[in-house]
Structure 1
Amino acid sequence: MLNTEDFIKRLEIILEYYGLNASTFADKIGVQRSSLSHLLSGRNKPSLDFVLKILDVYPEVDLYWILNGKGSFPESASTVSDQPALPQTENLVGPSLFDGIEPQTETPTDIPEKKPEAMLPKTYTQAGIDKIVVFYQDGTFMSYVPK
């Protein structure tokens, strides 16, 4: 079971480490300021969604450390090195995909520069653009309609 008092202490360590006040931290992780205030005062307990938002914005925060105090913050290089390494290419069976390929040292100059209009299919440039929608990672979007 999660000890809320200890969780709040670890949360305060994160705020101090990044030099943030509670309202700025709440804005950065995408929660309401009042939610963070209630959590810091001990009125509410942290939800899984709250913890995941912290880990998403601050990947240096170790999940086990913030939940139960085990591990370290910020996540040390030794924690990362404890994970099994990827196999080296000499351990793989068969020839390497890149055997016999020399690295390119110069940029090719004989490739003509293409303009963005030339890369679009003719159907799009002839039909015109009706609307452009930009989706952001936080779930919001913006719509642009040319005149």
Structure 2
Amino acid sequence: MKDRIKQIMENENLTPAQFADRLQINRAVISHILNGRNNPSLDVVVKILNDMNDINPEWLLNGTEPMYKTPRSNTNAVSMPKTPDLFSERTINPIQNTAKLEFAQEKPLKRPVNTEQIKENELIEPSQNSAKKITQIIIYYDDNTFETFIPPLLKN
């Protein structure tokens, strides 16, 4: 079946990465299948048949001819240009434009003016909200133990 999957990719002009992306499966799955490490799972076969409706299931599973359900002519086949991917050996050429790139000059940042002065050692009084009552205090220690304190008026 590995060879038939390779043949599908060749006929559809797909790289292994494009094939995996089209089937929405991990690229490593296709890599392992093509390298002979793993056989295609039922999930992979189902995704191929669902995504590529023209593939003959008998051909994919057993290798019985024809590959496609309907005959294809080479004149109707549209060849898609191959795009670079993680599996290809090609390198992407850098920008071909030889125009001189201009970079912005660094400018020092102006600090925002803080209208409120920081008052050191200022006593901050807690707000007196009589609606809130402390129900318990938990102290955690660095040896992963803890103590719970409950005010005496709340203990039953």
Q: Give the TM-score, by structure 2 length.
A: 0.44
Higher relative contact order (CA 8 A, sep 6+): 2
Q: Give the TM-score, by structure 1 length.
A: 0.46
Which structure has the bigger radius of gyration?
2
